[in-house]
Chain A
């Protein structure tokens, strides 16, 4: 168990290193000169050279790479070329927003997805199952950015135009209202939740649809396996068979799915943050990429990779806890 954990940790570390290195190389060989961002527009060659020296761009690539890596590991992530602020503080501002959004949507995805999928499997081949299958198929096929726009269209614009009541009318932008500081503590909490609603529903709806599709299939697969038949033959009650035998085994792969679905979740988050002006990691990354703000591009890429690796490690540990066979025999 310990050896396995160590191996996984080393592998995760290697993956982060690989991602960071690949990004560094990509950024370095891309056309466009970051020094141009540093100097005033129309600056001469001498100023450009001075800027290159100040940014360390005049040194050979391997040296730059190792210096950057050493600084990065020590927590010195450089200064944003555009905002002229330490990257670390920009990221520290943005990360909690992204974590809140992704964690909330993961919880919604799993609870909602399991409920819908299990209902479908238990009501297999009924009108309810068919209806939910078609619905999840379409929702799963929706691009996050489009679903987000459609939700804004209905629950912000149409709701405002036709004067819908507050509980089906949500803000389209930002994390808090402009006047949030003047609200009572309770009012501020409600305000934050209302701002979270549309971004969360966007990510959550797509997640629920995907998870439900998986759960339905998994439960239907397990339903006819020999050990379920044995349990039924022994006279175990229907409810116990469903909960203890079918669900426990069908839902195990969901833990692995958790790790595998993280990259897609972060991709969706990027779009959702852009549309809802949610000041998280995805948004600052898109801005940084558009503005060629390399230190931020590097930092955000590294953090997304790190989050994915940590998520996979957690999924691994969870799996070992949930399925004792893994910890005992070291099955992959």
Chain B
């Protein structure tokens, strides 16, 4: 709890947390908050490309305007928060899980295991992530699950290195030797003593990773390879807006602002958490 207090005293971390909380609430309560259905198309010819704050032919106010199918942009943004945040959080959960296991295993067992796993990590790091994502995604049918898995499976390398470094630092410490001398098993030693002590930098990396994953998901959607339409995702909204950039610049602008806001919030939280929780800078 002490570390939570440290975190809440950091202004950047709290700003990031507040922004993320608002976005999360928007996503969770999307059906209540959104003024219209995000997918349904009304009288397309009369409601499409309405500018922000326009009143439609149906008498409804479109606060952020409509897209080329006459769908309410605000509603799509709010529902898009659901998808973007879910993809970000889930994929980072996958990569943190995988990275922690690989990092722990290499630090704990050392020797050949460590050499092999770290060589694998280095090789995976050398691949431009987007290239790998492209290759993986287009070869299979796009779906939200695939996007989560692929983002997760291509984002674990930094976490693995970090975990290895942290755990290696812990391995020589007295409490670990004491636990070993007391005859504790491998699994228990890892789960009870090593992992909890290495968790702080992992959380920082995870916060930064969520922002990155959201940005990449939007990028994949932008290339038509992310969450498939008509489900609203910020990325496919930007892609849709690009085609109407001259006549309706607001369509691409607003979802991009949402992505930037989310990434900034994640980075603020990550930076703040690192400074607040890192004993070296405390």
CB distance from A261 to the nearest CB of B (A): 11
Tell me which residues across on chain A come within 8 A of B264, comparing CB atoms.
137-138, 141
Any chain A CB within 8 A of the CB of B143?
A: no
CB distance from B126 to the nearest CB of A (A): 5
Given contacts A15-B122, A157-B245, contact A304 B131 (CB under 8 A): yes
Interface presence of B184 (CB below 8 A): no
Main secondary structure of the interface of A (DSSP, over half): helix
A111 interfacial contact with B, CB 8 Å: no
B128 touches A266 (CB 8 A): yes
A142 at the interface (CB under 8 A from B): yes
- CB-defined contacts of B140 to chain A, threshold 8 Å: 30-31
Cβ of A270 and Cβ of B130 under 8 Å apart? yes
Cβ contacts B214-232/A at 8 Å (1 or 0 each): 0100110011000000000
Please tell me if B182 contacts chain A, counting CB pairs below 8 Å: no
Asked if A44 is an interface residue, CB under 8 A from chain B, the answer is no
Task: Give the interface size bracket for A toward B.
Answer: 35 or more
A141-B211, A286-B223 given as contacts; is B131 within 8 A of A270 (CB)? yes
Q: Which residues of the partner chain B approach A286 to less than 8 Å between Cβ atoms?
A: 134, 223
Do B128 and A146 have beta carbons less than 8 Å apart? no
From residue 61 to 77 of chain A, which have CB atoms closer than 8 A to chain B? none
Question: Given A14-B119, A301-B131, A308-B126, are A146 and B136 also a contact pair (CB < 8 Å)?
Answer: no
Contact call B139/A32, Cβ cutoff below 8 A: yes
Interface size in chain B (residues, C-beta < 8 A): 40
Given contacts A14-B123, A266-B130, A267-B130, contact A141 B256 (CB under 8 A): no
- A144 contact set on B, CB distance < 8 A: 219
**B139:A15 contact, CB within 8 angstroms:** no
Where chain B touches its partner, the secondary structure class is helix
* Pair B126/A143 contact, Cβ less than 8 Å: no
Does A227 interact with chain B (Cβ within 8 Å)? no
Q: Is the CB of B131 within 8 A of A137?
A: no
B120, B122, B245: which contacts A149 (Cβ < 8 A)?
B245
Instruction: Evaluate whether A143 and B218 lie within 8 angstroms (CB atoms) in the complex, with A14-B123, A138-B264, A305-B126 already known.
Output: yes
Task: Show the binding face of B for A, using Cβ within 8 Å.
Answer: 119-120, 122-123, 125-132, 134-136, 138-140, 211, 215, 218-219, 222-223, 238, 241-242, 245-246, 249, 252-253, 256, 259-261, 263-264, 267-268
A interface list, Cβ under 8 A from B: 11, 14-16, 18-19, 22-23, 26-27, 30-32, 137-138, 140-146, 149-150, 152-153, 157, 260, 262-264, 266-267, 270-271, 274-275, 285-286, 289-290, 292, 297, 300-301, 304-305, 308-309, 312
27 examples of A-B residue contacts, CB within 8 angstroms: A15-B122, A19-B127, A30-B140, A31-B139, A143-B222, A145-B222, A146-B256, A146-B259, A149-B252, A150-B253, A157-B245, A260-B125, A262-B128, A263-B125, A263-B128, A266-B130, A267-B131, A270-B128, A270-B130, A271-B223, A275-B242, A289-B134, A292-B138, A301-B131, A301-B132, A304-B127, A312-B126
